[in-house]
Amino acid sequence: MCRWLAYTGEPVFLDELICKPEHSLVAQSLCAVEAKTPTNGDGFGIGWYGERAEPGLYREVLPAWNDQNLASLAHQIRSGLFFAHVRASTGTSSSRPNCHPFASGRWLFMHNGQIGGYLRLRRRLEALIPDALYDRREGTTDSEILFLMLLAEGLETDPLGALARTLAKVTEVMATAGVTQPLRFTSALTDGRSIYALRYASDDRPPSLYWRSGDAGGSGKAVSIVSEPLEEPETWQALPAGEVLLVGPDRQIRFEALDLHAWAAE
């Protein structure tokens, strides 16, 4: 089901979060403890903001624990906002275009979850992607469809509304098709300035999500959002199901309850 982390704050070398902590994301790729599957070895990816408005992207099909390039890049690259993701495939093939995060312009997206009945619904879901965005589809995952739908639903100007409308539409397609499996969607979005993290499921088992806010070496506020605590579990807080955690450019934190219907209606 995948594990991921997002960070914003004073620039840090990526390996400080991805590789070094006792239960780092790389450690979670080999042995996650709160995921449906302990092994998240079907590829991985990192996306980070440096000197350009658009993020850099490195995605690979090898397991994260086994990639020397990841170790070197994470040791070398310093960033004030980055995403990282380790993948456990829920059926689609291991290829770089199926690895997270996904990028479009200045936006990054990553996802932990699944659209119930996806293989059967795939075509109907793809139909929700407008023509103008369809040629950005490079892979076959439900996650990439969700990202392209978010872009179509106004992600760039109304991220929360886009989230609600996208999930509402997917829910409708699932209902129409009589799918009884749940929609699970614990995800993160960023434009390189703010982060929007959502923990959501249509049943009572949303994939885990934790966050921590604090001083980053005394030089300013930092916020980390993770599938599983990287270390010192008592210092992390679980995000309640159905909530969006918003981190602004000033790293101020705000919470919003996701309301598919209200937002969708706007």
Active site residue ranges = 2
Is 216 buried (19+), middle (13-18) or exposed (0-12) by CB count in 10 A?
A: buried
To the nearest whole angstrom, how small is the minimum distance from the Cβ of residue 55 to its own copies?
7
Q: Residue 256 pairs with which residues in a beta bridge?
A: 244
To the nearest whole angstrom, how small is the minimum distance from the Cβ of residue 81 to its own copies?
13
Token pair of 83, please?
């995403």
**Residue 235 carries which DSSP code?**
G
Closer to its own copies by Cβ: residue 79 or 166:
79
To the nearest whole angstrom, how small is the minimum distance from the Cβ of residue 117 to its own copies?
11
In the chain, how long is the greatest CA-to-CA distance?
53
**Residue 116 carries which DSSP code?**
T
Closer to its own copies by Cβ: residue 43 or 206:
43
Closer to its own copies by Cβ: residue 7 or 263:
7
User: Which positions lie near its own copies, rule CB under 8 A?
Assistant: 13, 30-31, 38-39, 41-42, 48, 50-52, 54-63, 66, 68-69, 72-73, 75-78, 89, 93-97, 119-120, 122-123, 126, 131, 134-135, 137-140
Angle 142-152/118-126 helices, nearest 10 degrees? 30
Closer to its own copies by Cβ: residue 133 or 246:
133
DSSP 145-184: HHHHHHHHTTTTT-HHHHHHHHHHHHHHHHHHTT--SPEE
Is 72 buried (19+), middle (13-18) or exposed (0-12) by CB count in 10 A?
A: exposed
To the nearest whole angstrom, how small is the minimum distance from the Cβ of residue 188 to its own copies?
19
